[in-house]
Each structure stands twice: as structure tokens, then as C-alpha cells.
Amino acid sequence: MLPNVVIAGAPKCGTTSLFAWLNHHPEICGSSVKETRFLMDREDCLFRRDSNFLDHGLAGYEAYFTACGPSAATIVLEATPTYLYQRTAPEVLSSLDPAPRILFVFRRPSERVYSHFHYLQGRARIDNRVSFRRFVELVREEDPSIPRANHANLALALSGYSDYLPFWLSRFPSDRVDFFLFENLRSDPRAFAKAVGRRLGVDPAFFDGYDFHSENRTSRIRSARVHRARRWTGQQISPRAREHLKAVTAGVYDLLNVDSSPPGPTSDESEVLAELDAEFEPYNQRLAALTGLDLSVWR
């Protein structure tokens, strides 16, 4: 049992919400964890030593889908948005027979960087006293104070989607790859989910009465020490046990240590966003040519 639909990109583009919405559909069965990260390259910081294709093969991958055995589900789903930047993932998935359908969701690059920045501060990966402008400067300078963890050092590079997409397009026929925009997901979740459902061949009417809510929203932590202690505990156990622990403790942890009010950009941050818009424009033009997407909303 292997996935026939994979959400392969991009991070901070609403893929957690999309996976949750689709996973609730009776014709869709999702992996036991949203991000298996099973098909990561060995040198990637998110590579899992105890759970990866290079050491455990397809049998290890199948273990994430055992709950999708004989059932009414026609779609077996996985979502690891960092697959976009890998070599192992497209090579393995394209070799399956039949090859799965690949979904990509893209977000205005400057906003993706901004969201990534707040995610890193919210996870105590970078100092809360570092401004957005200074963060962008430090990433450009490859400053050692910006860690590899959670791809902090690649926050800018990961928004240059067109640099990574050709490797996927060379391995999958055009009718097996679908492209969507985060801005459409955010503005009208119901219409977005129904459009994806139609693309996958499942009944879109399921989403007519569906109660949409966002997953993995950007937030800030109140105590970095508490967050580090929770993260250290999770690192001592298996990925599945870690997911279970997070699910069980999420409510109490969020109440005590998470500020979920979305931060808004300051005037200086808005200037940095505008600078990034200009910097990413050539990448966006290539992305539009590769995908046929109308990216005018990003302007």
C-alpha cells in the first residue's frame, strides 16, 4: 500500500491544512503522520535516520499507510512539502507503477519567507530580538548564527520554486502534476478544497458542509525554555510516538506557551517584503512559464 497522491510542496503554503481537509474525505486515506519525510535526501537536515527510503526501502514507506488497507478510500495521500527540494523523492515516486499524482501549492515568495521567519522565532530557532530585515541579511551572508535546523539557512532559497520544479517535471508527465496557489486556499477554502477534490476524482460535494479550520498557523511561543524542553523530549522517542505525544499535549501546551495572534508586518518589514518581491520576480516569471499559473495575485 503506497500513496497515489502526494502533496510535495511547498513549506508554509497551507499544505498542513490541505492534508487535514482532504484526509477527512471518506474517499481519501492519509498517511499515519502528515509529513513522513521518508523520501528525504540523506544530507538534508530533516532526514530521519530511523525512517528513510535509503536505508529501509519501500517496505518502510508502506508502514505509514497500513491503516489504508482494504477500504472505501480510492486516494492514498501523503504530504511532505519539503519533497520539492529533494532528489530522492521524485526519483522514487516516479519509479512507482503507477506513478502517483503530485500536488504543489505555492505562495507569494516574500510572504513565504516572512512566514518562515516567524515560524523559526516561534520554535526558538532564531532569537526573538532579531528583526526580519536582519534575518534576511544574515541568511544572505550565510551567517553561522542562522542554523540549518528547519532549513532556517535556506529561508530565501526555498522560495525560488522555479529552481527546483524542473527536476520533478522531467520525471512526471504533465497530467500527473497539479499546481495551486496558497492565496486561493486562504481566500476561499471551500472552493479551493472542492477544486482539488474534482482534480483528484473524489466527490467535491463533501466540502459543502465541511467545517474548515487552519492547521499549523504561524504563532509565537512565550517561553523558549519550555519549548526546548518539549522538543528535547520529542527527540528521545520515535516519530510516531512523537506525533502522538504532540497530539495529546497540544491543547495544554498551546494554552500555556503559545501566542496564536498572527503578527502583522511593521513598516520596515513591509519595505523588506517589497524588496523581496522585486528580487523574486524573475523566479516568478519562470514559475509561471513552467506551470501556466496566473501569478498576478502576487503583484
pLDDT band at residue 71 using 50, 70 and 90 as cut-offs: confident
- Which pLDDT value is given to residue 223? 56
Give per-residue pLDDT as tens, 211-255: 997 665 554 555 556 656 766 676 667 666 766 666 567 556 555
pLDDT digits (tens, 9 = 90+) for 22-49: 999 999 999 999 899 999 999 999 999 9
* Of 48-57, 116-125, 128-137, 258-267, the least confident: 258-267
The answer to whether the beta carbons of residues 48 and 57 sit under 8 Å apart is no
How far apart CA 32 and CA 19 sit, in angstroms, is 12
Phi, psi of 174 (to 5 degrees): -60, -30
Q: What is the CA radius of gyration of the chain?
A: 19
In CATH, which of 3.40.50.620, 3.40.50.970, 2.60.120.380, 3.40.50.300 is domain 5-113+159-217+280-298?
Answer: 3.40.50.300
What pTM was computed for the model? 0.85
Beta bridge partners of 258: 221
Residue spans of the domains in the chain: they are 5-113+159-217+280-298
Q: What is the reported pLDDT for 259? A: 56
CB 23 within 8 A of CB 30: yes
pLDDT at residue 1 in the model: 86
Count how many residues are written for the chain: 299
Give CA–CA dist 294/235, Å, rounded: 42
Q: Position of cell 474517499?
A: 27
pLDDT higher than 70, residue 177: yes
From residue 35, give the alpha-carbon distance in Å to each of 116, 267, 271.
Answer: 17, 35, 34
